[in-house]
Structure 1
């Protein structure tokens, strides 16, 4: 974490001048990244794990895996670092295969110094992908973790399950402040909208449960929602608003609504940008009480090296896999982040 210098102008009611009072603020980054099919090179006969890397020649899989991991470590280290001067304290991840690939990731030279811990549960997803949360052990202390299974059925059937990712819940102390995190990867756009609405209701039920015990709980809802800030799943069922003044008690604030309206996205398809990767926060994280962490700003990390440099996809996320091969890229999504700040002691 770094110390951010802010200047608060305090106007006197009885005098005609004002003066500046300098304060120091701690800055920390919370990030989310869909890492595009982070699979190992081992075929697991107990589940479907035919990711792009497994479709390649066995002789090159190991080299591709190493390059993929090194690339992701390079990205994660830099998310939000221009302000925090540190790697993210918290990183939610989507499209990871298992605990082993996470262990390899946090042991990469670019990340090892940050001593990341891992929260992960195997989920029954039919693609073999899970969500996870990484945390710097020196900054965040988990006190409770769990998962919520999203139960769906195919084409209105009451017996044929449509298996998807679990929703991950982690509560803990971020530099002493209790914060609740949820990591999501909702059903894809190839699925019915009703399934993402069901996912939203499931996530919302966790928020309601937390707030029934503590109406002022600090909650951060992150993920690849496969819906934008404008979709009903986000606005009507997750109850996330795009303007701070609209946020009522127990609702969420979605700072990525503003970014989307400025034409900024995390994924691109047929020359159209969308913003499926988002982090939303509860009302208690957008107050002016900086004695504990508050949201300072939200952003999309889309550095030049993360963008396709030429051709018809110039400017798109530089994805890892295309046309049956490894491109040398990172992911088909840009990562997103929020900076939190609080007064330094």
Structure 2
């Protein structure tokens, strides 16, 4: 089934989580998610890209076998996100670190996902590593209306040479009849150090903010999801100051953005680890109309980090870290060096 009808004893409080038993209502629930697929490259050398430096192309043997297992592992995770609560995979999932449309076709046609009938929205970007962002959607739940790719033009502050990075993807469409907008990001990395690389992510945030502003000019009540691997935490300048995010739903003004992942971060949780420190680079944020209490259309219910036990390294130096696909010895049979993140949205249905 494409939604879960679940009964809630409700009058919803302002937090939506404190529920008082008054009357029975039924709701549809859908999952919106994001996942960094950690170097999902195919086995074919593309002369137009620097893919020969990818972990897949560096393998000397068994590339085809490893590729199929990597794709299957990614499909397992996507199939599982939100399933316990919705009995379905995500209606919409943004992804990053994919080489091309071909790997996405293989992913959605994996045995674990093919029944979901995912559509693909993907544009090739000028990233120097040859990686892109994309969005997958269940065709029975989401109908795209418009899609566009937005180039981020940034330059190295020392050499003044252009830094080629990922474009930002904007998708507008109907989620089960509700018009929504999704911006999928993979902001510039911290290569060269956090401070030196910070202006690049601030520039990326300004591009995202421009897209949000443009949508709100057309419709001030636009339901907007901003998602991605930002390479910044929820408290960094790019997120807090440029996107004007709030961690408390009650403090979100009309043009502000709500970021539930700031609370997770301040509680010590993360989606990726480095040198025994957690970062929460993977986030989903929303515009204020998704926080309204009129559940005749989809509204925010809750957010989470999908850190199931099988996605965690069980032993060794990196015990407790995300169980990544690639290590110094090649393919680990793991998943990704990032945990996925997700958000549930719900709307009331007639009993």
Q: Same fold (TM over 0.5)?
A: yes
Gaps of 5+ in 2: 13-19
State the partner residue of 2:293.
288
State the partner residue of 1:277.
282
**Contact in 1 for aligned 2:72/2:110 (Cα 8 Å):** yes
- Equivalent-residue separation in structure 2 for 1:239 and 1:5 (angstroms): 35
1:126 aligns with 2:128: yes
State the partner residue of 1:113.
115
Detail structure 1 runs of 4+ shifted over 2 Å in the superposition.
Answer: 155-158
1:231-270 residue pairs with structure 2 within 5 A?
231-270=236-275
TM-score between the two structures when normalised by the length of structure 1 = 0.95
1:320 aligns with 2:325: yes
State the partner residue of 1:84.
86
SS in structure 2 at match of 1:22: strand
Going from structure 1 to structure 2, the CA distance change for 1:292 and 1:324 (only over 3 Å counts) comes to same
**Contact in 2 for aligned 1:52/1:324 (Cα 8 Å):** no
SS in structure 2 at match of 1:170: strand
- Equivalent-residue separation in structure 2 for 1:208 and 1:36 (angstroms): 31
State the partner residue of 2:55.
52
Paired residues in the alignment total 337
Q: Select the residue among 92, 98, 105 that pairs with 2:100.
A: 98
Q: Over residues 78-98 of structure 1, what are the superposed CA-to-partner deviations in whole Å (9 max), with x where a residue is unaligned?
A: 001111110000010000000
- Equivalent-residue separation in structure 1 for 2:283 and 2:10 (angstroms): 30
In the TM superposition, residue 9 of structure 1 has moved relative to its aligned partner by: 4.3
RMSD of aligned C-alpha atoms? Answer: 1.4
In the TM superposition, residue 4 of structure 1 has moved relative to its aligned partner by: 2.1
State the partner residue of 1:39.
41
State the partner residue of 1:178.
179
State the partner residue of 1:15.
none
**Contact in 1 for aligned 2:224/2:286 (Cα 8 Å):** yes
- Equivalent-residue separation in structure 2 for 1:124 and 1:77 (angstroms): 30
SS in structure 2 at match of 1:46: coil
- Equivalent-residue separation in structure 2 for 1:80 and 1:200 (angstroms): 28
**Contact in 2 for aligned 1:204/1:237 (Cα 8 Å):** yes
**Contact in 1 for aligned 2:8/2:26 (Cα 8 Å):** yes
**Contact in 2 for aligned 1:56/1:324 (Cα 8 Å):** no
Gaps of 5+ in 1: 11-17
Going from structure 1 to structure 2, the CA distance change for 1:9 and 1:125 (only over 3 Å counts) comes to closer
TM-score between the two structures when normalised by the length of structure 2 = 0.94
- Equivalent-residue separation in structure 1 for 2:6 and 2:345 (angstroms): 11
Deviates more, 1:246-255 or 1:101-110: 246-255
SS in structure 1 at match of 2:116: coil
**Contact in 1 for aligned 2:126/2:165 (Cα 8 Å):** yes
**Contact in 1 for aligned 2:9/2:21 (Cα 8 Å):** no
State the partner residue of 1:13.
none
